[in-house]
Structure 1
């Protein structure tokens, strides 16, 4: 990796660190609405507030945790009550407008007040506030008021650690970055044909074999998460108001599990390990009770260490499973997720099963699936929008991109941004759409730099689709260009799209 130790240390903070400024410093002002994602309401006006070394952060009770993070980032002292006329940034919990995750940010000459009904709302407001402090750390926060809340409750991205294992430290750095754009779900793809990446006590060879050195695409992606390591990631993400969604892909994409446990095949013979990128050739043995004992054990153990509401059971590209067997499998497995207290979540193929009425379907594939998904929605299924030709951020930007694939087409920044999750699929009204997710598959990724190059800046645009009520490409490209120096300062290896006029 090309990043220096100093850059790694700087990135350890979840918010952009900035030195406190003196009153004599130059005072450039960032326009009040020049943030990503775009706020719902922006009312500029009045004098701005200059952050100096005398400024304190005032917070009490449930606001204290978010305030401490802001204090770390701005290198300001956090107090329970600021004395007298001390210049302050006040964080407080209280009603805003009844919208989930909403906040109100008010900026005047004497200080800043950030109010939200929940700590998650405060955290959202802090992300906005951080972008209003100039990237240099020296400057004035523009005067006025922002009232803001998300369009969708689910604003996610996925990281594939099955085809190439990405370390906990890499995942944590990625969490730090996504949380800056109010992305609040991280879907971890934990198993596939090339590897198994999560410890399951009742089936220990899943990781001792499926997570061994030499697993992964090209045999270079070995490794796995212990239960302690997974719980640590869950805690780390939660401290940044990001919820982990674990995925075990089945009944296809199971070659690594069958290498470890041949009894999961119909003939009891272990298949050879796979390190290529082919899909659709593996299947659990649908008529075997061993299959369902295995599946229930995995769901039970994974649910026990996952506090979030969702458990993803995959279900895509099960080409080696007959249609009848696929429906039989889902009839047995979808209720198991409910049994262990989670909402079942799967790729849009699960929509064909009647039992998916209580599940979430992740829309990813071609228009041939639209009617099936629409019918499932009529039966109660909710949808996460991840159309591969728009939201898969492992796809190349253009033919010259050094990483990624192109089977779903090239996806430049504008293409990733310029669509509407609420109207994308005929027969799926916005009321049935929980949100949007940007999957990042790891066939070609080897490092944190690779993750960042493919994610940014497209993921910032997809985050805005999930948060903001309307799209405006010209506004977005201007705000994105202005944001570039912040990535540069943090050492983020982002793609400098020619569609954007980058500052700095």
Structure 2
């Protein structure tokens, strides 16, 4: 009894701040210690710890070059991120100075950094982010966020302190294309939901958002010349919900917002298969002139545009022309997967006619890797989604195309598909490619994944998120996190940094950050969260 009373008294006294034990100073010291420079995701190309930490304070200013509106915008973005939790005013100024958070654009400090690289130097007086281009400044800001305590992501004032470890990070990406795909066709997601996902992607230096805009279950983009595609073809989704579609203004807003986070939007219109929503909207797109009913199931491979009909190519050209006009990025994705209802000869003939239409309107073709079984256009990009059970002939076909100049985006389904279940108990997702735990999603090398493919043929990586079973932002986050950061690291970080043990520790530290942001992530048991 005396021991219980003593324990209660000690606890009450500790809560009041009147008891000091050896553990309390250690805990406070650990909380105050800055995040080591090498604890960020993606792993930086070069880290050199040195000197004293920089402490963000009430007088900190964000200094940006006066001749760059983009640098000023990024400075304002950073201030907006940091003000709620720190409570500091963090004014953005074009006045020069060697203190505070300093942006430098161009000059000697930016040599060798390319279009997206940055150099972050931290010391007692300042944190300086140098880059050759604004995208590099933005990526440097994402690293700066991770070097601050996780509580900086909260929307209300926190106690701090806000320290950034001393030293220098020099960082450039391994691959130019680092993508994530969001399927808005199986289930429709609003502009606001897409923006939320964009913000999550940007934190890990993803630079491409691939939007899967059409499929059997729904057509999601307004096309003026074929209005029923959206109004009728977009009126449902998997399970028979209300569906939805983006107006052209909606789509422009997604493109604008993505660009503000240095992501390029790649629109996909899947053809000639995965087209039931279009076939149901216009009878003339069917060989028999009869429109099928709308479809709300999840089977694949049963639909096809009518390859011999001239109307099919009028349709394809109108759609490509209108979407190309809305899309400033260089790529337009024409799908081409699982066209099981299209003969091989018809498939090749269709691709021969449609690929030039993409070029006609100033874009470069991306197609799923089945495109390599036809005749890929010069400069075309094939997106590989095969997996361990994919047969050698199909893999060889992709490798041969790569040797002949077709560049590849790697999205192996049993590694990079974020909709695959983590394990047998995962309540969401599918498992046709197997279970994909966090280590499996991370532990592969894009540079050597496909035998016979020249290393220079790999344009980059992409993490697709298909939504047959996903209908809310919380669903998306549960399947994307914690696997998405691993795919992002494969796309950004040098191959020599690839190490599961190191990555696992860095990933575990992200959990507190996601908690602060309200991200609904899966606490994968192999990660070892704090």
> Is TM (by shorter chain) over 0.5?
yes
SS of the equivalent of 1:210 reads coil
Tell me by how many angstroms 1:354 deviates: 2.2
SS of the equivalent of 1:114 reads strand
Point out the more displaced range, 272-281 or 93-102. Answer: 93-102
**2:82 alignment partner, one of 70, 74, 82:** 74
Consecutive unaligned residues of structure 1, counting only runs of 5 or more, are 1-23
Partner of 1:450: 475
Q: What per-residue deviation string (whole Å, max 9, x for no partner) do you get for residues 100-139 of structure 1?
A: 3111111011111100000001111110011001112423
For the 8 Å contact 1:357–1:377, the answer to whether it is kept is no
Consecutive unaligned residues of structure 2, counting only runs of 5 or more, are 1-28, 84-89, 153-159
CA distance in 2, matches of 1:402, 1:317: 26
SS of the equivalent of 2:39 reads coil
Partner of 2:442: 417
SS of the equivalent of 1:375 reads helix
For the 8 Å contact 1:252–1:284, the answer to whether it is kept is yes
**1:39 alignment partner, one of 44, 59, 69:** 44
Tell me by how many angstroms 1:140 deviates: 1.1
SS of the equivalent of 1:146 reads strand
Point out the more displaced range, 346-355 or 272-281. Answer: 346-355
CA distance in 1, matches of 2:447, 2:31: 43
CA distance in 2, matches of 1:408, 1:454: 15
Q: Does 1:356 align with 2:377?
A: yes
SS of the equivalent of 2:38 reads coil
Cα 1:221–1:428 shift into 2, 3 Å: farther
SS of the equivalent of 1:426 reads coil
For the 8 Å contact 2:504–2:527, the answer to whether it is kept is yes
**2:183 alignment partner, one of 133, 149, 160:** 160
Q: Does 1:275 align with 2:289?
A: no
Partner of 2:513: 486
Q: What per-residue deviation string (whole Å, max 9, x for no partner) do you get for residues 164-204 of structure 1?
A: 00111100000000100000101000000111000000000
SS of the equivalent of 1:298 reads helix
CA distance in 2, matches of 1:25, 1:349: 53
Tell me by how many angstroms 1:231 deviates: 0.2
Q: Does 1:93 align with 2:114?
A: no
Tell me by how many angstroms 1:73 deviates: 1.1
Q: What per-residue deviation string (whole Å, max 9, x for no partner) do you get for residues 138-158 of structure 1?
A: 231000000000000111110
Partner of 2:206: 183
Q: Does 1:52 align with 2:19?
A: no
CA distance in 1, matches of 2:522, 2:54: 33
**1:195 alignment partner, one of 187, 211, 218:** 218
Tell me by how many angstroms 1:99 deviates: 2.9
- The within-5 A match list for 1:80-479 is 80-81=94-95, 87-94=99-106, 95-137=110-152, 138=160, 139-212=162-235, 215-220=236-241, 222-365=243-386, 366-367=390-391, 368-470=393-495, 471-479=498-506
Cα 1:276–1:26 shift into 2, 3 Å: closer
CA distance in 2, matches of 1:486, 1:429: 38
CA distance in 2, matches of 1:347, 1:356: 13
SS of the equivalent of 1:253 reads coil
CA distance in 2, matches of 1:27, 1:485: 15
How many residues align? The count is 476
Point out the more displaced range, 368-377 or 235-244. Answer: 368-377
CA distance in 2, matches of 1:121, 1:320: 45
Tell me by how many angstroms 1:415 deviates: 0.1
CA distance in 1, matches of 2:460, 2:524: 26
Tell me by how many angstroms 1:96 deviates: 2.9
CA distance in 2, matches of 1:434, 1:355: 16
For the 8 Å contact 1:163–1:221, the answer to whether it is kept is no
SS of the equivalent of 2:459 reads strand
CA distance in 1, matches of 2:143, 2:208: 18
For the 8 Å contact 1:283–1:320, the answer to whether it is kept is yes
For the 8 Å contact 1:357–1:379, the answer to whether it is kept is no
Cα 1:444–1:221 shift into 2, 3 Å: farther
Point out the more displaced range, 369-378 or 260-269. Answer: 369-378
CA distance in 1, matches of 2:381, 2:502: 33
Shift >6 Å, 4+ stretches:
none
Tell me by how many angstroms 1:353 deviates: 2.3
Asked which structure has the greater CA Rg, the reply is 2
CA distance in 2, matches of 1:120, 1:353: 36
Tell me by how many angstroms 1:221 deviates: 5.2
Q: What per-residue deviation string (whole Å, max 9, x for no partner) do you get for residues 248-277 of structure 1?
A: 000000011010001001000011221110
Q: What per-residue deviation string (whole Å, max 9, x for no partner) do you get for residues 287-328 of structure 1?
A: 000000000000000000000110000000000000000000
Tell me by how many angstroms 1:163 deviates: 0.7
SS of the equivalent of 1:29 reads coil
The structure with the greater share of residues assigned to helix is: 2
